[in-house]
Structure 1
C-alpha cells in the first residue's frame, strides 16, 4: 500500500464536504476521516476491476474509493460502483459527485430500502458488495443480517463481500452479532477470507471508543444462493435502529433549498413504509 497520504486525505475531505448531515435516529453515524482513507483504499484493493454495489453508504466510502482512483491517488479500484440507499439526500449527493468522476469510474445511485425486495435489475448484477449497516445491538444483529442478505442477493455466484460491523471484545453483544452474521454468511455459501479487527472509529458521542472491524467474505458455494428476494418479515423490522426504534420509514426525501451546494443545510421529509400482505403473513 503506497500512496501520497496528503493527496488521499484531501480527496476524502472532498467527499466529507459533499455528504449530508447524519440522522442519528436512523443510525447514520459517520466514520472518521483517517479511517475512511484506510477503508476506501482497502475496498479499492480487494475490489479491483470489479462491479461493486454498496447497500447503504452514509459514510461515503463508495465515493471515497472512486475519488481516490479518479484523482490518481491510487491506480486500482472498482470498474463501477452502484449505491443503494433509502436516503434521497445521499443518493442525490452521490449522483452529483459521481458525474465529476466519469469516465475514469462509473458511479450510480438508486433509492432503495432493505425492508423491500431487491429490484430485479440489481439481483445478481454485481461482483462484490459492501455494507456498514445498523449494528444490531438491540435486535440480535437482524439489521446486519438483513443488509448482508441484500448484498448477497445483489451479487453473482463467485462474489466477495465486505461487512463493516461493531467489534469490541469487552462488549459481548458485538461479538455475538459478529458470530451470528458469520453463521448466516456460511448458510449463504460464504467463508471469511480476511478480518481486520477494531479498525475504524466514529463520530459517536455516547460511545466514542466503539470501533468496527472490516470482514471480507468470499462465496465458495453458489448452490446456496437465494433464488428470490422478498420483503423483510414484520418482526425483523423491530428495534432495527436501536431499542424501540423500528424500521417504519421507506425513504428520507430531500427537500431542496436555495443553496443546494451545502448538503448540511438541507432539510428532509420522511416517507412512511407501506406494509403489504406478504410481510403481515
Structure 2
C-alpha cells in the first residue's frame, strides 16, 4: 500500500464534507478520517475491477474508494459501485458526488431497507458486497446477520464480502457477535479469508475507544445461495438499533431545501445588525 498520504486524506475530506450529519437513533456513527483512508484503500484493492454493492454506507466508504481512484491517488478500484441505503439523504449525497466520478467509476444509489426483500434486479448481480451494519449488541447480532444475508443475496457464486463489525476483546458481546457472524457466514457458504482486527475508531462520545474489525469472506459453496429474498420477520426487527430501539421506519426522507448549498435555516438563528445613521 503506497500512496501520497496528504492527497489521500484530502480526497477523503471531500467525501466527509459531502455526507449528511449522522442520526444516532439509527446507529449512524461515522468512522474517523484516517481509518476511512485505510478502509477505502482496502476496499479498492479487494474489489479491484469488480462490481460491488454496498448494503448501507453512512461512513462514505463507497465514495471514498471511488474518489481515491478517480483522483489518481491509487490506480485500482471497483469497476462499478451500487449503494442500497434506507436514508434518502445518503442516497442523494452519493448520487450528487458520484456524478463527478462517472468517468472513472460507475456509481449509483437507491433507497432500500434490509427489512424488505431484495429487489429482483439486484439479486445475484454483483461480484462482492460491503456492510458496516448496526453491530448487534442488543439483538445477538441479528442486525449483522440481516445485512449479511442481503449482501449474499445480491452477489454471484464465488463472491467476496467485507464485513465491518465491533471488535474489542474486553467487551464480550463484540466477540460473541463476531463468532456468531462467522458461524452464520459458514451457513451461507462463506469462509473467512482474512481479518484485520481492531482496525477502526469512530466519533462515538460514550465509547471513544470502541473499535471495529474488517473481515473478508469468500463464498466457496454455491449450494447455500438463497433461491429467493424474503422480508425480515417481526422478531428480527426488535432491538435492531439498540435496546428498545426496533427497526420500525422504512426510509429516512430528506427535507427539500430551496437553498441546497446552504445550511438548513432551521439549524440556526440570525440577529440583525443595527446600523445607526451618521
TM-score (norm 2): 0.94
Q: Is 86-95 or 255-264 further displaced after alignment?
A: 255-264
The answer to whether residue 205 in structure 2 is matched with residue 205 in structure 1 is yes
The answer to whether residue 215 in structure 2 is matched with residue 215 in structure 1 is yes
Uncovered stretches (5+) of structure 1, i.e. residues with no partner: 268-281
State how far apart, in whole Å, the 2-side matches of 1:83 and 1:259 are: 26
Evaluate the alpha carbon distance shift between residue 112 and residue 262 of structure 1 in structure 2; reply closer, same or farther with a 3 A threshold: farther
Q: Secondary structure at the match of 2:67?
A: helix
Evaluate the alpha carbon distance shift between residue 240 and residue 42 of structure 1 in structure 2; reply closer, same or farther with a 3 A threshold: same
In the other structure, the counterpart of 1:11 is: 11
Larger Rg: 2
Q: Is the 8 A contact 2:238 2:245 kept in 1?
A: yes
The answer to whether residue 166 in structure 2 is matched with residue 166 in structure 1 is yes
State how far apart, in whole Å, the 2-side matches of 1:81 and 1:212 are: 23
- Size of the aligned set, in residue pairs, is 267
TM-score (norm 1): 0.93
In the other structure, the counterpart of 1:236 is: 236
State how far apart, in whole Å, the 2-side matches of 1:171 and 1:115 are: 28
Q: Secondary structure at the match of 2:90?
A: helix
State how far apart, in whole Å, the 2-side matches of 1:265 and 1:80 are: 36
Evaluate the alpha carbon distance shift between residue 265 and residue 219 of structure 1 in structure 2; reply closer, same or farther with a 3 A threshold: farther
In the other structure, the counterpart of 1:252 is: 252
Equivalent residues in 2 for 1:132-211 (5 A)? Answer: 132-211=132-211
Uncovered stretches (5+) of structure 2, i.e. residues with no partner: 268-278
Q: Deviations over 1:75-98 (max 9, x none)?
A: 000000000000000000000000
Larger strand fraction of residues: 1
| Superposed displacement of residue 259, structure 1 | 2.7
In the other structure, the counterpart of 2:119 is: 119
Q: Secondary structure at the match of 2:57?
A: coil
Equivalent residues in 2 for 1:63-102 (5 A)? Answer: 63-102=63-102
Q: Deviations over 1:151-196 (max 9, x none)?
A: 0000001100000000000000000000001001000100000000
Q: Is the 8 A contact 1:18 1:262 kept in 2?
A: no
Q: Is the 8 A contact 1:20 1:263 kept in 2?
A: no
| Superposed displacement of residue 261, structure 1 | 2.8
State how far apart, in whole Å, the 2-side matches of 1:266 and 1:119 are: 36
| Superposed displacement of residue 103, structure 1 | 1.4
State how far apart, in whole Å, the 2-side matches of 1:178 and 1:194 are: 13
State how far apart, in whole Å, the 2-side matches of 1:56 and 1:266 are: 27
State how far apart, in whole Å, the 2-side matches of 1:261 and 1:136 are: 36
Stretches (4+) displaced over 2 A: 261-267
| Superposed displacement of residue 264, structure 1 | 7.7
Q: Secondary structure at the match of 1:251?
A: coil
Q: Deviations over 1:104-134 (max 9, x none)?
A: 1100001000000000000000000000000
Q: Secondary structure at the match of 1:109?
A: strand
Q: Is the 8 A contact 2:257 2:264 kept in 1?
A: no
